Amino acid sequence: MSTAAAPAAAQLPQGSERILISIAVMLATVMQVLDMTIVNVALPHMMGSLSASADQITWVLTSYLVAAAIFTPLTGYLTNRLGQKRFLLISITGFISASVLCGLAQNLTEIVLFRLLQGIFGAPLVPLSQSIMSNTFPPEQRGRAMAFWGMGVMAGPIMGPTLGGYLTEAINWRWVFLINLPVGLLSLFMVLRYIRDTPRRTVPTDWTGLGLMALGIGAMQIVLDRGNQEDWFSSYFILSMALLSGLSLVTFVLRGWNNPHNIVNLKLFKDRNFATATVMMGVFGLGLFGTVALQPLLLQELLGYPVLTSGLVIAPRGIATMFSMLVVSRLIVRFDPRIIIGTGMIIAGLGTYYMTYYSLDIDIWWVVWPGLLQGLGLGFIFVPLSAMALETIPRQAAAEAAGLFSLFRTVGSAVGISVATTVLSRQNQVTWNEIGAHVQPFNPALAAWLDHMHMSLEDPQTLALLGQQVAAQARMLAFVDVFWMIALSFVVMLPFLLVMRRPAHQQRGRVEAPVME
C-alpha cells in the first residue's frame, strides 16, 4: 500500500464495526428493493378495496417507479449537501412513514400520492448502501462486501412475490406496506448507532439541469411503464412523453458534460469500468426483471397455480442466487472478476434457454430447476459487476457513482419488463393467428384429435374447447419466445467484458488470479 493510501485505510472501520455497519445498511436496502415487487401480487386485492379499475391501479406501481428513477441520481448531490448519515436517516424515516401511510390509504388518490413519497425517500437507500459498503471495506475485501450487499438487492425482487402472496392471502394486502415498519425501525436504530457521517459540503445547485433530468427520466419511466397498455406510439400520450424524455435528456447531457456544477457528475462515465458495468447492469435488468415479471403470469394463467404456490415455486431461484453470491464472495479475491461474470452469463443464459422447452404439460420440477440454474448465474453476474463499477472511482465520488449505477439498474428493470410484456403481447397475437390458420376441417391432425375426443365440429362445445386450446397454446409459445430473447440478452453482454480492466489490487499482485487480457 502506498503512503498516500495509508491514512485512508487507517480510517476504515475495523472488525465487528464493519459487520454492524453492513447489517444496518442491508436492512434499509432489503426494505426498499423488496417493495419493488412485493406489491405486484396484491394489486387485484387492492382494486376491490380502493374501488379502482385494472388500468387505474397500475399507477400504484408507476408513481413509485417514476419518483425512484428521478431521485436516484441525486444521491451524490444530496449526500454532499446533507452528509451521509443525516441523509440516510432522513431517507429511512421518510420511507417508513410513507409505507405506513400506504397501508392506511382509503382511496386510489391517497395511495398513489403516498407511493410517490415512498419512491422519493426510498430512491437513495440502495445507492447509499452500496457507497457505504464500498467505503467501509478496503479494495481487496470489496468483493465480499458486494456479495453481502448483493444478496439483499437480488433476493429482494425475487422473494417479493412469495412474501407478498403470503401476506395478502394470510392477513391483508395492507401488510405488504406495514411490514416495512419493524424492519425500518431496526435499521434506523442501527444507522443512528453505527454509521459514520461524512463532511457536508456546499454544492452549487444547477436548477436547470435538475429540471431537465427530472423531466427526462420521469417521462421515460412513464413511457416504459405505460407504453404496452397504451399501445406504444399509436398513443399521443406515449409519443409526447417519449419526445419530452428524449429532448430533455439530450439537452441535459449536452449542457452538463462540461458544466462543473451539473447536478450529476457525467464525467464519471469516462471511467471505463464504471461506464461498462453501468451499461451491463441496464441490460442485466432484462434478464432478471423480465423473468421475474412473466413467470408468475405463466404459472397462474396457464398452469393454474394459486398465488402462494407460484411464489413458492419461484422462490428456489432466489435461494440459488444467495448461495452463488456466498460462493462468489470467496472466488472474487482469487479469480479475475471478468471470468466470474462471464461464467455467470453462460449459466444464467443456459437456465433461461431450458425455459424455452416449457409447455402446458410441464410439472413443477420443470419450473424449479431451470430457475435454480438461472439464479446461480445471476449471483455470479451481479456481485463482481457491482464491485467493479466502483473499483476505480474515488471515495469522495462513490455516492454519485452508486446513484448512477442504481439508476441504470432501475431503468434497466423498467426496460426489461416493458420489452418482455410487449413481446409477449405481440407474439401472442402472431402465434394465435398461425395456430388458428390450421384449425380447419381439412387438417388431418384436427380430424384425428376430434376422433380421439369423440367430438364433432358441429358441436358448439367443441368450438369453445378448440378456442380455449388455441389461446392457451398461443400464449405458451409467446412465453417461449420471450424466454429465447432473455437467453440471448445474456449472450449479448459477453463482449462487454473485453472492454473492462482487471481490478487494480489484483494487478499489483496481491492475489494470484487467472488473467483475461
In a domain, 514, yes or no: no
Whether residue 111 is found in the same domain as residue 214: no
Whether residue 87 is found in the same domain as residue 175: yes
Q: 237-244 long-range contacts, Cβ below 8 Å, gap at least 24?
A: 244/215, 244/216, 244/219
Name the CA radius of gyration of the chain, rounded. 24
In a domain, 195, yes or no: yes
Using 70 as the pLDDT threshold, list the residues of the chain that sit under it.
1-15, 53-56, 58, 140, 142-143, 154-159, 161, 203, 260, 307, 447, 451-460, 503-517
The domain containing residue 227 runs over which residues? 209-262
- Last residue of one domain, picked from the residues 262, 292, 327: 262
For residue 126, the model assigns a pLDDT of 82
| Helix residue ranges per DSSP H, 195-235 | 207-226
Degrees to nearest 5, angle at CA 433 with 428 and 435? 95
For residue 512, the model assigns a pLDDT of 38
Closest CA to 190 of 72, 76, 96, 85: 85
For residue 511, the model assigns a pLDDT of 40
- Last residue of one domain, picked from the residues 233, 262, 291: 262
Quick check: 292 and 161 in contact, CB under 8 A? yes
In a domain, 79, yes or no: yes
Quick check: 30 and 187 in contact, CB under 8 A? no
Whether residue 323 is found in the same domain as residue 388: yes
* CATH number assigned to the domain comprising residue 94: 1.20.1250.20
For residue 514, the model assigns a pLDDT of 34
In a domain, 447, yes or no: no
For residue 509, the model assigns a pLDDT of 44
In a domain, 449, yes or no: no
Could you tell me the CA-to-CA distances from 183 to 10, 26, 178, 201, 221 in Å, in that order? 32, 10, 10, 31, 28
Whether residue 277 is found in the same domain as residue 249: no
Whether residue 74 is found in the same domain as residue 222: no
Whether residue 199 is found in the same domain as residue 230: no
| Helix residue ranges per DSSP H, 298-363 | 307-331, 337-355
In a domain, 437, yes or no: no
Closest CA to 183 of 397, 25, 5, 77: 25
For residue 98, the model assigns a pLDDT of 92
Closest CA to 273 of 503, 26, 2, 61: 503
Residue 299 DSSP label: I
For residue 12, the model assigns a pLDDT of 62
Whether residue 26 is found in the same domain as residue 81: yes
Whether residue 241 is found in the same domain as residue 119: no
Closest CA to 91 of 131, 114, 119, 70: 119
In a domain, 339, yes or no: yes
For residue 457, the model assigns a pLDDT of 66
Whether residue 199 is found in the same domain as residue 286: yes
Whether residue 172 is found in the same domain as residue 283: yes
Closest CA to 69 of 226, 217, 266: 217
Whether residue 341 is found in the same domain as residue 423: yes
For residue 137, the model assigns a pLDDT of 76
Q: Please provide the distance, in angstroms rounded to a whole number, between the alpha carbons at the two ends of the chain.
A: 24
Closest CA to 151 of 325, 267, 380, 390: 325
Whether residue 375 is found in the same domain as residue 480: yes
- Last residue of one domain, picked from the residues 217, 245, 262: 262
Q: 131-135 long-range contacts, Cβ below 8 Å, gap at least 24?
A: 131/75, 131/79, 131/84, 131/390, 131/398, 131/399, 131/401, 131/402, 132/21, 132/25, 132/84, 132/88, 132/195, 133/21, 133/22, 133/25, 134/390, 134/395, 134/398, 134/402, 135/12, 135/395, 135/398
Unique residue bearing C-alpha cell 401480487: 41
* Packed helices 59-71 and 398-436: angle between N→C axes, nearest 10 degrees: 150
In a domain, 465, yes or no: no
Q: Count how many domains the chain has.
A: 2
What is the DSSP code string of 240-294? HHHHHHHHHHHHHHHHHTT-TT-SS-GGGGGSHHHHHHHHHHHHHHHHHHHHHHH
Quick check: 346 and 474 in contact, CB under 8 A? no
